[in-house]
Amino acid sequence: MFLRNKHQEMRIRAYNLTILVLVFSIAVTSSMAQADTAQSREYQIKAAFLYNFIKFVDWPEEKTADSNEPITIGIIGKDPFGDAFEPIKNKPVKGKKVIVRRFKSLEELKKSGEGNKSDKHPQIEAIRKCHLLFICRSDKNNLEEIIDLVKDYSILTVADTQGFLEANGIINFVMEEKKVSFEVNVTAAKRAKLKIRSQLLRLATRILEEKNSEGKDS
Amino acid sequence: MASQKKSLAKKLTFLLISLLALSPTPKVFAEQPDPNSKDDFFEMSLEELMELPVVVSASRQTQKITELSVPVSVITAEDIHYSGITTIPEILQFTPGVDVRRFDRSRYGVGVRGLLSRISDRTLVLINGRAANDFIFGAPDWSTLPILMEDIERIEVVRGPSGAAWGANACTGLINIITKKPEDILGYFGSTTINEFGDSYTHIRWAKKRGKWSWRLSAGYEDIEDSDAAGAGKYESGVPAALNSLIDYSSYTTQDVMRNWRFDSEATYRYSDRTKWSFGAAHSYFKSGSNEFVGYFPQSDDMSSLTRTFTRIDHKFNDKITAYLQWYGKFLVSHWPNSIARYKNDEHHLEGQLNFILADKHNISIGGNLSLLRADISRGNNANELVFAGEPYSEQWGGLFLIDRFEATKRLTLEGQIRGDLHSETDEDWSMRASAIYGLDDAKDHTLRFSVARAFRMPGIAMRTNTKSSVFGLFQILPIQKDLGNEKVWSFETGYTGKLTKELTFRADGYYQRFEGVLGARNVVTMFGVTNSTFDNIDGATAYGAECELAFENSKGKLSAWYAYNGFTTDQFEQGIRAMWPAKHKAGLTARLFLPDGWTFNANYAYNDVIGAYNNILIGAHAFNRLDLTIAKEIADGKGEIMIGVSDLLCKTNKAITDVGALTAHETPGRMFFARVQLRF
């Protein structure tokens, strides 16, 4: 009764193998999904930070003179935010609509001839019209070049890359114990004619100022 | 066929075990804000996004805990969850500078920096910023509060006068219980705790978000057996102790049972990005056994029915201006069969607050409240009773406050708070707090604080309107001879808060307080041996002390240790302050460890010194060591948790503690083993 023929054995093995593959797939998918969820959550929070930064930064009048012009958040490089900005469609800041524009990485712009700053390509012009520019990690090797490209256009540059402040970036996200915090280069902000309000500065974990770094790592 | 079924069952078991083993396990079961609700991130402030510990009780504004104008300790939802404790006073016992004494199984005295009794009216208690104190007697009845432990987001304990922000009676401190937002706890939740003596605590909850609506509905039942049933209950006399030899306590049995049905609800409607309407209702139906009052038991078979309701509108005018307006009510009906046939007390409070930022440097809050109380107390037939004049009785009061937090320089913040109060029956009065908070570094990781504050305590209605209470002719409370004035306190404080490393923080606070016109009882013993007691403003008192806390916290756990020295002395020898002095020395330790595979270990320890007055130990206010241990394990893929634990491991019974105004008291149970099961889905 308990003896099985070869055909039955094969079926049982195939069945077991199917279960094993199924379990393995679920486990792998589950861990991948968890990783995706974690990353997605991190950038949902960072998107909300960017939205909040706008509230606590004052741009020079020439940048905000047109009251009908929306506040533009630019994202340059491989966009990690996904649809994280969806909720802000109906959430104006300072009485202005907020829009998000995505740009190719600098390498790709260069390849297409748009990266030459002497050129007046529409993409470069569009980047320079942004109020806030988030430089994705995919462009971490081009930080200084991108910052140089926008330095005279009163743009709040933000990234989540080590060494961003030292490359004259203005705000850099850092992760501490899985919590998002940020550091600020006040000198770079002043150079860009941006006024960062004290409510934002007091939350920064590091403040970098010209000559000597007065802030300290927290 | 049977073998095939067996084989299938084995495979399914294998599949389930594999899934359980391979599934990711959340680190903690304690509830966190829902991470998947991305709309909410855009509603959050920067502090909330950074998950910074923020508090609102120090100055009615959301502030970083390291930059406050008054010391605040925060008991988090995680602290409550892993403690396994089912009452608010007992979790407060593990907080620096808080004195908690249990008089029987359900009655507690809680005082920030001491001065406690069952009627601790020098510490103001709030639920979500709304008064929880009973204005007849002046203190909350902790067990009747319609709030369930796992619904608490955090408890903010403010040490120091806080009247400028919150009004009368926040003299020695403030306790603000803040509940969880519905959107942070979506889904179903059930929890039940049972201990070795049959006490139980059960809580079920449903929270949902649909469109612009979100809501939370909670219900719970608590059943506590009397002290005798829990292996304690030995009676002894209070003052004088000599009575112990004259009274046959063997005939006394404890009657401190308690049954409590609680319901709590809250709903929010987000009308727009700028406007939010929230409302809620909570109710508790409380039945308890005897409660002694100077030798007799007015509250034998006490029944209390407390309803709290609120409605509130929050509006954001722009990034710099926000406001709220709220009404809340408290409706208490109580029945004390031995004395008062009906005790009815209705309160209505209308409150508003406007916050705005001026010149980018001033965070200003202005607001006020109008309150109305109406009490109706019907006499019973027993002569030994509390008697109030002029029922139905009503009072009105109101106040206005102004708070300015001024960031003077990058490192220096100045904060001023001032408030004036008018009352229909007592003196008009005022409160203030002026503070300088100076950052020793630009990031303000190390801050120094200097403050001066003033607050007042209003004499409770029971104190002012009591016409006569007598006990067997030996002791009687006589009507007041003249109008009672407010008790006033001035406080001078300094403190340091330091973030020593990313994970290590230290804070130390010192204070000197001067009380004037202390409200208490003037006792005169007649030639017939009768003690006549009259409420009066009796001279002054001085409090002084310091608290310090070192805390280490990261994703693997938490370790904190604290010590408090709370000194107190009255101007007159044996001056009746109608409260217990603070325990001079208090210390505590909390250790929590998140172990692999969903295990969590938690330990809470507290030491309290004896409560002394002029070197005499008040009867019953003994020193104690309390150690609670719990171990919890997640089950069902993080959707459930089983906990076993023991509270008060070191003491089998707690010695009798005689409340102010009581003549006898009995032991209460100490060590208790318990188990808890929770499910969330």
Residue among B4, B16, B36, B46 with most chain A CBs within 10 A, to mutate:
B46
Residue whose structure tokens are 């440097």: B361
Identify which has the larger pLDDT, B151 or A22: B151
Highest mean pLDDT among A29-38, A124-133, B286-295: A124-133
A19 touches B at CB < 8 Å:
yes
Q: Considering only CB atoms, which chain B residues are within 8 Å of A30?
A: 22-24
Look at residue B238 in the predicted model and tell me its pLDDT: 66
Q: Is B3 on the interface with A (CB under 8 A)?
A: yes
Mean pLDDT of B457-469: 79
Provide Rg for chain A, Cα atoms: 24
Hunting for tokens 């006569």 — which residue is that?
Answer: B468
Q: Using DSSP, state whether B494 is helix, strand or coil.
A: strand
> Which of A143-152, B240-249, B467-476 is modeled with the greatest confidence?
A143-152
Q: How many CA atoms lie within 13 A of B103 on its CB side?
A: 26
Please report the pLDDT score of residue B272 as a whole number.
85
B24 in A contact zone (CB under 8 Å): yes
AA letter at B48? E
Between CA B294 and CA B339 the distance in angstroms is: 14
- Determine, for residues B38 and A202 on separate chains, whether the beta-carbon distance falls below 8 Å: no
Residue, of B320 and B123, whose pLDDT is higher: B123
Confidence (pLDDT) at B176 = 97
- The per-residue pLDDT for B616 is 57
Contacts of B421 (CB under 8 A, 6+ apart): B167, B168, B397, B398, B399, B428, B429, B430, B431, B456
| Rounded mean pLDDT, B168-185 | 94
pLDDT tier, B462 (very low <50, low <70, confident <90, very high otherwise): confident
| DSSP assignment letter at B458 | P
Centre a 10 Å sphere on the Cβ of residue A87 and count the other Cβ atoms it contains.
20
Higher pLDDT among residues B434 and B470, named by residue: B434
- For residues A46 and B255, what is the distance between their CA atoms, to the nearest angstrom? 57
CA distances from B355 to A86, B61, B62, B131, B352 (A): 29, 8, 11, 21, 10
> What whole-number distance in Å separates Cα of residue B45 and Cα of residue B50?
9
Angle subtended at Cα B97 by Cα B96 and Cα B98, rounded to the nearest 5 degrees:
100
pLDDT at B555: 77
B35 neighbourhood in chain A, CB within 8 Å: 37, 41
What pLDDT sits at residue B508? Answer: 97
**Nearest chain B CA: its distance from A199 CA (Å):** 8
**Which residues in chain A have Cβ-Cβ distances shorter than 8 Å to B319?**
55, 93-94
Instruction: Report the chain A residue with the minimal C-alpha distance to residue B34.
Output: A41
Question: B474 is written with which tokens?
Answer: 């030996």
Mind spelling out the 3-state secondary structure of B42-58?
CCCCHHHHCCCCEECCC
Alpha carbons B471 and B661: distance in angstroms, whole number: 11
B110 CB burial (10 A radius; 0-12, 13-18, 19+): buried
Give the best residue of B1, B11, B19, B41 to mutate against chain A (max A CB count within 10 A): B41
pLDDT at B489 over 90: yes
Per-residue pLDDT band at B472 (split at 50, 70, 90): low
ipTM: 0.73
Of B124-138, B330-344, B404-418, B577-591, the poorest mean pLDDT is in B330-344
Q: Which of residues 144-203 of A touch B (CB under 8 A)?
A: 176-181, 197-203
Tell me the two tokens of residue B54.
């923020």
Helices (H), A56-121: 61-64, 106-111
Nearest-Cα residue of chain B relative to residue A215: B442
Close Cβ partners of A139 (under 8 Å, ≥ 6 residues apart): A76, A77, A105, A106, A107, A146
CA nearest to B410 within chain A:
A198
Q: What is the band of B92 on the pLDDT scale with cuts at 50, 70, 90?
A: very high
| Greater pLDDT, B521 or A32 | B521
SS3 call for B509: strand
Q: Do you find a cis peptide bond into B140, omega within 30 degrees of 0?
A: no
Task: Spell out which residues of chain A touch residue B360, defining contact as CB-CB under 8 Å.
Answer: 197-198
Q: Is B4 an 8 Å CB contact of chain A?
A: no
pLDDT tens track for B322-338: 999 999 999 998 876 66
Check residue A184 and give its pLDDT: 93
pLDDT tens digits, B293-302: 555 565 566 7
- Distance CA(B629)–CA(B591), nearest Å, equals 10
**Residue B250 forms contact with A (CB below 8 Å):** no
- Residues in Cβ contact with B213 at an 8 Å cutoff, skipping those fewer than 6 apart: B267, B268, B269, B270
| Chain segment A76-116, per-residue pLDDT in tens | 999 999 888 888 877 888 888 899 999 988 888 877 765 45
Optimal mutation site among B18, B27, B38, B441, interface A, most CBs of chain A within 10 A: B38
Q: Alpha helices of chain A — where are they, by DSSP H? A: 6-55, 61-64, 106-111, 122-128, 143-150, 186-191, 198-201
Tokens (6 digits) for B100: 């908690």
Rounded-to-integer distance, Cα A168 and Cα A197, Å: 19
Secondary-structure percent of chain A, ordered helix, strand, coil, rounded to 5? 45, 20, 35
Q: CA torsion sign, B531 to B536 to B539 to B541?
A: positive
Q: How far apart are CA A176 and CA B639, in angstroms?
A: 27
CA-based end-to-end distance of chain A? 72
Asked, as a colleague might, if the bond just before B240 is cis with ω within 30 of 0, I would say yes
Hey, what amino acid is at B243? L
Tell me whether B400 touches chain A (CB under 8 Å).
no
Instruction: Return the percent helix, strand and coil in chain B, to nearest 5.
Output: 10, 55, 35
Q: Is B619 left (phi over 0), alpha (psi -120 to 50) or beta?
A: beta
Within 8 A by CB and 6+ apart from B200, the residues are B192, B193, B194, B221, B222, B223
Task: Give residue A26's region: left, alpha or beta (phi > 0; psi -120 to 50).
Answer: alpha
Residue B451 confidence (pLDDT): 98
CB nearest A179 (choices: B42, B51, B318): B51
Q: What is the pLDDT of residue A217?
A: 40
On the question of pLDDT at B456 being above 90, the answer is yes
Q: How far apart are CA A91 and CA B104, in angstroms?
A: 54
* Residues from chain A contacting residue B47 (CB–CB below 8 Å): 203
Q: Are B365 and B328 in contact (CB under 8 A)?
A: no
Predicted confidence at residue A117, as pLDDT, reads 52
Inspect the interface and report whether the beta carbons of A218 and B22 lie closer than 8 Å: no
Distance CA B664, CA B151 (A): 36
Cβ <8 Å between A19 and B47: no
Could you give the C-alpha distances from B387 to B61, B297, B470, B472, in angstroms and in order?
42, 15, 10, 16
Q: Quick check: B38 and A214 CB within 8 A?
A: no
Contact A19 B14 (CB under 8 A): yes
- Measure the CA–CA gap between B598 and B548, rounded to whole angstroms: 32
A150's torsion region: left (phi>0), alpha (psi -120 to 50) or beta?
alpha
Return the pLDDT at A37.
56
Tell me the one-letter amino acid at B73.
Answer: S
Distance spanning both ends of chain B, measured CA to CA? 37
Backbone dihedral region of B477: left (phi > 0), alpha (psi from -120 to 50 degrees) or beta?
beta
Length of chain A: 218
> Which chain B residue is nearest to residue A40, measuring alpha carbons?
B36
